[in-house]
Amino acid sequence: MATNQDMLLSIQDLKVYFRGNGKIARAVDGVSCEVAHGETVCLVGESGCGKTVSALTILGLISQPPGEIVGGRILFKGQNLLDMTEDEMQKIRGNRIAMVFQEPMTSLNPVFTVGDQIEEAIMVHENVSPAETRERCVRLLTDVGIAAPEERLKDYPHQLSGGQRQRVMIAMALACHPELVIADEPTTALDVTVQAQILNLFAALQKKMGMSLLYITHDLSVVAKIADRIYVMYAGIIVEQADASDIFHHPHHPYTQGLLASLPARGNRGKKLHSIPGQVPDPAYKPSGCPFHPRCDFAVTTCHDTLPEMCDDGKGHLSRCPVLYELRYETGGGRDQFIQ
Amino acid sequence: MTTAIEQSMNNEILLDEPLAPKRTRRQEFWSLLRKNRLAIWGLVTFIIFFFVALTGLFLTAGTNPIMDPSMVRLQEKLRPPMARPNMDTLKSVEIPALGIYLFGTDDLGRDVFARMLQGAWVSLTVGFVAVGISVLIGIFMGGIAGYFGERQFRIDHLIVAGLLIIGIGLVIANIYVWGNITFLAGLLWLFDLIVRRKRSNTRRGPTGAGLLQKNALSVDTLIMRFVDIMLCFPSFILILTVIAILPASIYNIMIVIGLTSWMGATRFVRAEFLSLREQDFVTAARALGVGNFRIIFRHMMPNAIAPVLVSATIGIATAILTEAGLSFLGFGVPPPHATWGNILSDGKGFIFDAPWLTFVPGFAILIVVLSFNLFGEGLRDALNPKLREGR
C-alpha cells in the first residue's frame, strides 16, 4: 500500500450501498484495488458481486439516489475522484478514463451513424477541426481493425455485426487517448471467435498506446489470456489478489479454488463438473463475518462473526482467508493440497 | 505475439463481409419516403396548400386587392359554387376576378373563394406556430421530467422559491418595501445555497438546518403534477379567459393555443425518456463525458421524437379547429379578416340552404389535416433507422 503514488488508479476501501424498500443492499462493501501504469488488471467475480458497480463508481455514473457512496476514496493520479464536481468528472470521463460496456448491441445510439458517435467522443473533449476529427475517426477505426473505415463511418449501428459494434465502442473509448480503459465484460455478449479477436485487439492496442486496462469479467479463460494481476471479488469484497499466474497455479482463497475447480477442463472429461455449494448471497442480506463462510468447506467458528483480514504471503499474493493461511504455514509449503 | 495479433487482424479484414452499395443518408431517406405513396401524396397536397395560401396572402392583401374577400354584394348573397355573377347589377369593381363564384358566396354576398384564400394562411400558420410552441415546451418539460426526474427539491429550495415569488407578487401589488425585502432575502438565501453547493463537502450546517435539508418533492412530481393541473382546466375556457384579457390578434391566439396544448407532448416525451434513460447507450454517452443537456437533446430526443411527431401532426389539426372555434365565438381573429374557422362557423346557420359555406372550409381543413397525418407517419417511418433494415 506504500506505492499509492505510483499507481494510476487506487481504490481504497470503497463502499457503495443501494437503499430501497427499507433494505440496504451493500453492493460494494470495502473494495481496495490498484492499477499501475500500462498494466492489465482483471476484476473477477460472479454476477452481482459488485464488479460493475465498482466500475461505474470510478466514473461517477452511479445514480444517487438510490445509490450512495458510503465511504472510501478513488485516487486517480493522486486526485480523489469522489471529491470532484460533476463538471470536473465530465472532463475526466472519456478523456482520461474511458469505459467499454458489456452490450455492444445497445451501447450505440441507434439513430446516429457510427461516424457521428466517434466524432462526438472526440469533439466533447478536444477542440479540433471537422476535417481532422474525421481523419482521426478513420484512423481509430483502422486501429480497431474495421475494414473500409470510411464506408463504415456512414453506417448505422444496426448495419454492423456484434463484433464490429464492440470494435466501434472500443474506438470511441480510445478516441481521446485515455490513460485508463475500464472494460466491463466487453466480450460476454460475443461468440468465442470474436471474443478472441477482441482480446487480441485489446492486447495490441495496449501495446501501441500504453494505456492501463481494468478488465472486468466473470470468465476465467479470458482472465488467463490477458491479465497481469487479478483481483477476485465475492459479495462486494476483494477476497484474493495476486499476479495472474500465481492465482491460477496457487489459489489461496477457498472461493478462488472453487472457481478454478469449476472450470470444465479436458482432464476431467466424463466426470461430474465441480460446483460450489450454495448460492451467492443477496447483497441486502449478507452473512455476517466472512461472506463466503456458508459455502466454505474450511469455515471455522471465527469465520461466522469476523470479517477476515487480508493475509499477505510476502510475495504480493493476498487472500482473505486466515484459516488456509495458517494451515499453509503449518504444513509448510503444501499450497496445492486444497485444490480439488 | 505481435505477428499473431497482426495475423488475426488481417484475417478479420479479409473475412469482413462485402460492402453493400452505399448511398448517402439523404438519398436513403428519400428512397424510403418515396416508397410510401400515401406519405408522398400527403406531402404534395400540403405543398400545394402551402403555395395556395402564399398566393392567397398576396392576392387578398393590401387596400385594393385583386380578390377582395370583404367585398359585400348583398344582391348576390348565397349564390352556389360555379355560379356566374349577375353582371347587370354589379359595378365593375364588384365582379370577382375569376369571372365566376368558384366556391359560391356567403350570406353577405362575399366571394367564398377569396375568403378561403385569405383564411388559408391564417389557418396554416396558426396550426404550425401553435404546435411548434407546444412541442418545444413539451419536449423541454418532458425531457427535464424524464431525465432529471429523480432529483429532489429540498424544503429550503421551496422556501427560497416561495420568497422570490411572494416578493415579486408584493412588488407587482405595489407593496414595495415588503416586496423588496422578501425578494432580497430570497436572493441572499439562493446565493448562499449556490455557494454552499460548490463546496459540497461542508454541507453539514447547524443541527436545525437538518430539517430544511429534507427532500420535499422530486422534479418529476413538480412537472407532472403541473401537467395534471393544466389538464384539469377545460383548455378551451382557459384560452377564452386569456384571450379576453389579451388583445385579439393572430399572434396572441397562436401563443395561447401553444401554451395550453403542450401537456400531451410532455407526457409522451417523459414516458419515452423514462425507458431511454436506462438504455446502455445513454450510460455509454455519459461515460464518454457528454454533458446532461447534450445527452437529453442530442442522444435521447431523436429516439423519443416519433410519438411526438405523430401527436404534433394531430395537434396541428386540433389547433386549426381550436382557432375555428375561437373565431366562431368572436374571440378569434377579428371579424373582417377571414379564417377557415369563421367561414365555417358563419356558414353554420345556412347549412341546409347553402351547404357549400360549411363544406368548403370543412373539406379544406379535412384535407390539410389528413395530408399532415399521412406525411407525419411516413416521416416517422423514414426517419427511424430501425425500420429501414427490413425493407
**Considering CB atoms only, which of A91, A102, A204 is closest to B289?**
A91
Sign of the CA dihedral with B88 first, then B93, B99, and B105 last: negative
Residue B108 parent element (H or E): none
Total CB pairs under 8 A between chain A and B: 112
* pTM attached to this predicted model: 0.74
* Chain B, window 149-188: residues with a beta carbon less than 8 angstroms from a chain A beta carbon: 150
State whether residue B3 sits within 8 Å of chain A by CB.
no
Residues of chain A contacting residue B5, judged by C-beta atoms under 8 Å apart: 200-201, 203-204
B348's grid cell: 353554420
Helix, strand, coil percentages in chain A from 3-state DSSP, rounded to 5: 40, 20, 40
DSSP 8-state assignment for residue B299: I
Confidence of residue B1 (pLDDT cuts 50, 70, 90): very low
Given the DSSP bridges, would you call strands A67-76 and A318-319 parallel, antiparallel or unpaired? Answer: unpaired
**What is the reported pLDDT for B48?**
92
A64's grid cell: 444517487
* Chain A, window 22-61: residues with a beta carbon less than 8 angstroms from a chain B beta carbon: 56, 59, 61
C-alpha A210/C-alpha A213 separation (Å) is 9
Shortest distance, CA A72 to any CA of chain B (angstroms) = 14
Residues A272 and A263 sit within 8 Å (Cβ to Cβ): no
**Region B49-54 average pLDDT:** 90
Chosen for mutation from B7, B10, B12 (greatest number of chain A CBs closer than 10 Å) is: B12
**Considering CB atoms only, which of A101, A112, A158 is closest to B389?**
A158
C-alpha B357/C-alpha B112 separation (Å) is 8
Mark yes or no for CB contact B288/A200 under 8 Å: no
State whether residue A159 sits within 8 Å of chain B by CB.
yes
**What is the reported pLDDT for A166?**
86
**Considering CB atoms only, which of B6, B150, B283 is closest to A101?**
B283
Q: Beta-strand (E) ranges in B51-193?
A: 152-154
Residue B226 reports pLDDT greater than 80: yes
Residue B17 domain flag: no
**What is the reported pLDDT for A170?**
86
Shortest distance, CA B389 to any CA of chain A (angstroms) = 8
Half-sphere exposure of B215 (CA within 13 A, CB side): 9
Give the pLDDT means over successive 10-residue stretches in chain A (340 positions). Answer: 65 85 83 87 85 87 79 84 83 87 84 86 85 87 84 83 85 87 84 83 85 87 85 87 84 84 75 79 81 81 80 79 73 47
Residue B137 reports pLDDT greater than 90: yes
Residues B327 and B338 sit within 8 Å (Cβ to Cβ): no
Shortest distance, CA A174 to any CA of chain B (angstroms) = 10
| H and E: helices and strands count for chain B | 17, 2
**What is the reported pLDDT for B12?**
47
- Residues 6 or more apart whose Cβ sits within 8 Å of residue B144: B219, B223, B296
CATH number at residue B219: 1.10.3720.10
Mark yes or no for CB contact B280/A101 under 8 Å: yes
Mark yes or no for CB contact B19/A148 under 8 Å: yes
C-alpha A87/C-alpha A109 separation (Å) is 23
Mark yes or no for CB contact A121/B198 under 8 Å: no
**β-pair partners for A43:** A216, A231
C-alpha A45/C-alpha A216 separation (Å) is 8
Residues of chain B contacting residue A145, judged by C-beta atoms under 8 Å apart: 9, 12-13
Q: How many CB atoms lie within 10 A of CB A331?
A: 10
Q: How far is CA A224 from CA A215, A221, A233, in A?
A: 12, 5, 16
Q: How many CB atoms lie within 10 A of CB A13?
A: 12
Residues of chain A contacting residue B297, judged by C-beta atoms under 8 Å apart: none
Q: How far is CA A5 from CA A8, A34, A36, A230, in A?
A: 8, 11, 10, 20
Residue B3 domain flag: no
Shortest distance, CA B284 to any CA of chain A (angstroms) = 6
Shortest CA distance from B12: residue in chain A:
A145
% of chain B residues with pLDDT over 90 = 6
Least confident range from A288-302, B99-113, B195-209, B264-278: namely B195-209
Reduced to 3 states (helix: H, G, I; strand: E, B; else coil), residue B187 is helix
* Largest Cα–Cα separation, chain A: 68
Confidence of residue B219 (pLDDT cuts 50, 70, 90): confident
**What is the reported pLDDT for A108?**
87
Mark yes or no for CB contact A148/B285 under 8 Å: no
Shortest distance, CA B286 to any CA of chain A (angstroms) = 8
**β-pair partners for A216:** A43, A184
Mark yes or no for CB contact B286/A124 under 8 Å: no
Provide the residue range defining the domain that includes B124: 25-388
State whether residue B302 sits within 8 Å of chain A by CB.
yes
* Chain B, window 370-389: residues with a beta carbon less than 8 angstroms from a chain A beta carbon: 384-386, 388-389
Residues B300 and B143 sit within 8 Å (Cβ to Cβ): yes
**What is the reported pLDDT for A5?**
58
**What is the reported pLDDT for B15?**
42
Shortest distance, CA B204 to any CA of chain A (angstroms) = 16
Q: What angle do CA B254, B257, B262 make, to 5 degrees?
A: 120
Residue B14 domain flag: no
Residue B359 domain flag: yes
Domain count along chain B = 1
State whether residue B199 sits within 8 Å of chain A by CB.
no
Strand order, beta sheet including A9-20: A23-35, A9-20, A67-76, A79-80
Shortest distance, CA B305 to any CA of chain A (angstroms) = 11
- Residues 6 or more apart whose Cβ sits within 8 Å of residue A333: none
Residue B18 domain flag: no
**What is the reported pLDDT for B261?**
87
The crossing angle, in degrees rounded to 10, of helices B340-347 and B356-383 is 140
**What is the reported pLDDT for A339?**
44
C-alpha A67/C-alpha B215 separation (Å) is 16
Residues A113 and A149 sit within 8 Å (Cβ to Cβ): no
Residues B366 and B321 sit within 8 Å (Cβ to Cβ): no
Least confident range from A317-321, B208-212, B377-381: namely B208-212
Mark yes or no for CB contact A204/B22 under 8 Å: no
Residue B101 domain flag: yes
* Chain A, window 168-197: residues with a beta carbon less than 8 angstroms from a chain B beta carbon: 169, 172-173, 175, 196-197
Reduced to 3 states (helix: H, G, I; strand: E, B; else coil), residue B272 is helix
Q: How far is CA B284 from CA A257, B134, B295, in A?
A: 35, 31, 10
Q: How far is CA B358 from CA A91, A158, B112, B341, B352, in A?
A: 62, 50, 10, 10, 10
Shortest distance, CA A269 to any CA of chain B (angstroms) = 30
Reduced to 3 states (helix: H, G, I; strand: E, B; else coil), residue B215 is strand
Confidence of residue B252 (pLDDT cuts 50, 70, 90): confident
State whether residue A306 sits within 8 Å of chain B by CB.
no
* B75-92 tens-digit pLDDT: 888 888 888 887 777 777
Shortest distance, CA A144 to any CA of chain B (angstroms) = 9
Residue A212 parent element (H or E): strand A212-217
Mark yes or no for CB contact B8/A112 under 8 Å: no
C-alpha B76/C-alpha B68 separation (Å) is 15
Q: What is the ipTM score, two decimals? A: 0.80
DSSP 8-state assignment for residue A338: G
**Considering CB atoms only, which of A102, A106, A148 is closest to B281?**
A106
Mark yes or no for CB contact A113/B25 under 8 Å: yes
Least confident range from B76-80, B171-175, B206-210: namely B206-210
C-alpha B381/C-alpha B39 separation (Å) is 10
Q: How far is CA A208 from CA A88, A143, B2, B349, in A?
A: 28, 10, 11, 83
**What is the reported pLDDT for B316?**
82
Mark yes or no for CB contact A106/B291 under 8 Å: no
State whether residue A80 sits within 8 Å of chain B by CB.
no
Residues A48 and A221 sit within 8 Å (Cβ to Cβ): no
Confidence of residue B207 (pLDDT cuts 50, 70, 90): low
Shortest CA distance from A94: residue in chain B:
B288
**Considering CB atoms only, which of A95, A101, A110 is closest to B289?**
A95
Strand order, beta sheet including A311-312: A97-100, A180-184, A212-217, A40-44, A229-234, A237-243, A318-319, A311-312
Shortest CA distance from B382: residue in chain A:
A111
Sign of the CA dihedral with B383 first, then B386, B388, and B390 last: negative
Shortest distance, CA A99 to any CA of chain B (angstroms) = 6
Residues A69 and A89 sit within 8 Å (Cβ to Cβ): no
Q: How far is CA B226 from CA B5, B150, B274, in A?
A: 59, 16, 18
Mark yes or no for CB contact A101/B287 under 8 Å: yes
Residue of B313, B352, B324, B261 whose CA lies nearest to B123: B324
Residue B77 domain flag: yes
**Region B361-366 average pLDDT:** 87
Residues of chain B contacting residue A121, judged by C-beta atoms under 8 Å apart: 288
Residue B95 domain flag: yes
Mark yes or no for CB contact B281/A110 under 8 Å: yes
The mean pLDDT value of chain B amounts to 80
Residue B14 reports pLDDT greater than 60: no
Residue of B283, B8, B275 whose CA lies nearest to A100: B283
Q: Which of A243-257, B16-30, B303-317, B368-382 has the highest average model confidence (pLDDT)?
A: A243-257
Angular region, B318: left φ>0, alpha ψ -120 to 50, beta rest? alpha
Mark yes or no for CB contact A93/B201 under 8 Å: no
Reduced to 3 states (helix: H, G, I; strand: E, B; else coil), residue B296 is helix
Residue whose C-alpha cell reads 416517422 in the numeric block: B380
C-alpha B140/C-alpha B134 separation (Å) is 10
C-alpha B112/C-alpha B130 separation (Å) is 26
**Considering CB atoms only, which of A146, A173, A204 is closest to B5?**
A204
State whether residue B278 sits within 8 Å of chain A by CB.
no
Shortest distance, CA A117 to any CA of chain B (angstroms) = 9
**What is the reported pLDDT for B387?**
60
% of chain B residues with pLDDT over 70 = 87
Mark yes or no for CB contact B280/A172 under 8 Å: no
